[in-house]
């Protein structure tokens, strides 16, 4: 892929669309649970409903990632996803029975859940071959997430949780406008034809497979926290504004993390895997602190660690996926990587987390998360040792042109 236009206005639109996409998603991710509680759902029911998102993403992420690679037009695919999301969010809030809510959520999440991975692919497509770095664009997403979270709390307090869809729709519509203004991209003659056979052979790379499996384990407590943190804050006596403050703290310093990693992190596979071991250790510390929290303010302040843990894992994971996956399959690779953070782990985090929260309390849920993070420390530490000692020699997928095979084997 190559850019047809790399002028400054197009790059500004790319930053702003990230700001509004992430701002849109924090409204739904951070406050939708409050609406569900207001209409009478229990924690187990909320957990099972929110688990629909990762379950659907198991199919939606590969589907949209494959077509993003196949059509070589991520911009068009992303606009289709945003249109479907914009229409279906209103069905979610108009549903008046549990069965209707579940059906509406399945359709909604089919379009919404792959949006982050395809946004990452969009950034990588437009900055490919330029001096620009991924972090300088992704940090705008963190700004959108943080600033929208802190501003949305008072707004939702005034409008009521049933009006979340209005704020959501306005933000998403603005994001779509900025994506629409981006220049088109075209497929070069040297690009490989994307096939399902070639995509399936990515899983012959044992290091990539272990990276995904360990990512699932580390992300289970993270998805449980995303689902139930707002309810935990209310249980400790907090308010909707405290929830917004906690979400703000969770992302406000991600900007600094991305800038520091852009500047100092070496793009070598063994270095990046070592970073994941360190981040997993910080995750374990975070869940231990959450289990010991005694007030809503404590929970909000602990979310500052989210900037380093999730922000660091997200950034390093995107870079590792670029190195593990050959260029023609990057949209699919990013979809698979995102799936490790929002697919199977999300189903387990939602269902098991809701069951633990309901029957044993949030403290047990977070202590279990700490143990899973420690497994991640051990797994990534072992990967780092092997890569540092023996180097990285992947098996090359079939059906790649010579230049793609060379790029894949020399990273």
DSSP letter assigned to residue 396: P
Rounded to whole angstroms, how far apart are CA atoms 399 and 410? Answer: 18
Identify which of 330, 318, 325 has the alpha carbon closest to the alpha carbon of residue 66.
330
Identify which of 250, 309, 285 has the alpha carbon closest to the alpha carbon of residue 367.
285
Q: What is the mean pLDDT of residues 203-217?
A: 84
Q: What is the DSSP string of 91-143?
A: HHHH--SHHHHHHHHHHHHHHHTTHHHHHHHHHHHHHTTSS--HHHHHHHHHH
Rounded to whole angstroms, how far apart are CA atoms 34 and 46? Answer: 10
Share of the chain residues as helix, strand and coil, in percent rounded to the nearest 5: 80, 0, 15
Rounded to whole angstroms, how far apart are CA atoms 42 and 358? Answer: 8
Give me the helices (H) in 39-97, please. Answer: 43-50, 52-71, 74-94
Task: Dump pLDDT digits (tens) for 55-89.
Answer: 787 788 778 877 777 777 788 888 899 899 888 88
Segment among 101-105, 181-185, 268-272 with least mean pLDDT: 181-185
Task: Return the pLDDT at 331.
Answer: 65
Rounded to whole angstroms, how far apart are CA atoms 344 and 96? Answer: 28
Task: Dump pLDDT digits (tens) for 107-165.
Answer: 988 898 888 778 877 887 887 777 777 777 877 887 888 788 777 777 777 766 667 77
Note whether 382 and 92 are within 8 A (CB): no
pLDDT band for 406, please (50, 70, 90 cuts).
Answer: very low
Note whether 219 and 349 are within 8 A (CB): yes
* Tokens describing residue 134: 């991924």
DSSP letter assigned to residue 201: G
Rounded to whole angstroms, how far apart are CA atoms 365 and 355? Answer: 9
Quick count: other Cβ atoms within 10 Å of Cβ 94?
Answer: 11
Rounded to whole angstroms, how far apart are CA atoms 336 and 339? Answer: 5
Quick count: other Cβ atoms within 10 Å of Cβ 174?
Answer: 16
Spatial CB neighbours of 382, under 8 Å, sequence gap ≥ 6: none
185: phi then psi, degrees, rounded to nearest 5: -125, 155
Rounded to whole angstroms, how far apart are CA atoms 127 and 119? Answer: 13
Q: What is the mean pLDDT of residues 15-36?
A: 82
Task: Return the pLDDT at 95.
Answer: 78
CA 229 to chain centre: 17
Task: Return the pLDDT at 401.
Answer: 45
Q: Is the pTM of this model over 0.85?
A: no
Q: Name 186's bridge partners.
A: 2
């Amino acid at each position: 892929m190559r850019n047809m236009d790399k002028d400054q206005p197009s790059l500004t639109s790319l930053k702003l669309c990230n700001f509004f996409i992430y701002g849109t998603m924090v409204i739904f991710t951070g406050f939708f649970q409050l609406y569900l509680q207001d209409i009478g759902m229990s924690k187990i029911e909320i957990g099972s409903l929110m688990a629909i998102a990762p379950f659907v993403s198991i199919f939606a992420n590969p589907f949209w990632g494959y077509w993003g690679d196949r059509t070589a037009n991520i911009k068009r695919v992303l606009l289709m996803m945003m249109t479907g999301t914009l229409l279906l969010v209103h069905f979610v809030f108009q549903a008046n029975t549990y069965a209707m809510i579940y059906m509406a959520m399945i359709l909604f999440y089919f379009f919404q859940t792959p949006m982050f991975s395809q946004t990452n692919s969009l950034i990588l497509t437009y900055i490919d071959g330029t001096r620009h770095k991924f972090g300088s664009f992704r940090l705008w997403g963190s700004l959108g997430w943080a600033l929208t979270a802190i501003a949305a709390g008072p707004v939702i307090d005034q409008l009521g949780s049933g009006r979340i869809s209005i704020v959501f729709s306005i933000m998403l519509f603005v994001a779509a406008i900025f994506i629409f203004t981006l220049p088109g991209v075209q497929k070069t003659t040297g690009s490989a034809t994307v096939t399902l056979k070639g995509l399936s052979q990515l899983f012959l790379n044992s290091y990539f497979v272990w990276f995904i499996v360990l990512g699932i384990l580390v992300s289970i407590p993270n998805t449980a926290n995303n689902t139930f943190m707002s309810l935990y804050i209310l249980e400790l006596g907090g308010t909707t504004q405290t929830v917004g403050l906690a979400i703000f703290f969770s992302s406000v310093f991600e900007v600094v993390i991305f800038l520091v990693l852009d500047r100092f992190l070496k793009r070598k596979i063994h270095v990046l895997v070592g970073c994941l071991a360190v981040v997993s250790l910080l995750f374990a510390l975070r869940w231990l602190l959450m289990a010991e929290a005694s007030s809503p303010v404590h929970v909000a302040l602990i979310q500052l660690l989210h900037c380093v843990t999730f922000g660091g894992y997200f950034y390093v994971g995107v870079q590792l996926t670029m190195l593990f996956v050959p260029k023609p399959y990057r949209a699919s690779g990013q979809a698979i990587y995102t799936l490790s953070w929002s697919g199977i782990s999300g189903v387990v985090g939602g269902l098991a987390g809701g069951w633990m929260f309901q029957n044993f309390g949030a403290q047990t849920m977070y202590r279990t998360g700490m143990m899973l993070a420690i497994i991640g420390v051990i797994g990534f530490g072992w990967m780092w040792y092997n890569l540092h000692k023996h180097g990285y020699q992947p098996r090359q997928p079939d059906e790649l042109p010579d230049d793609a095979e060379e790029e894949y084997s020399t990273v």
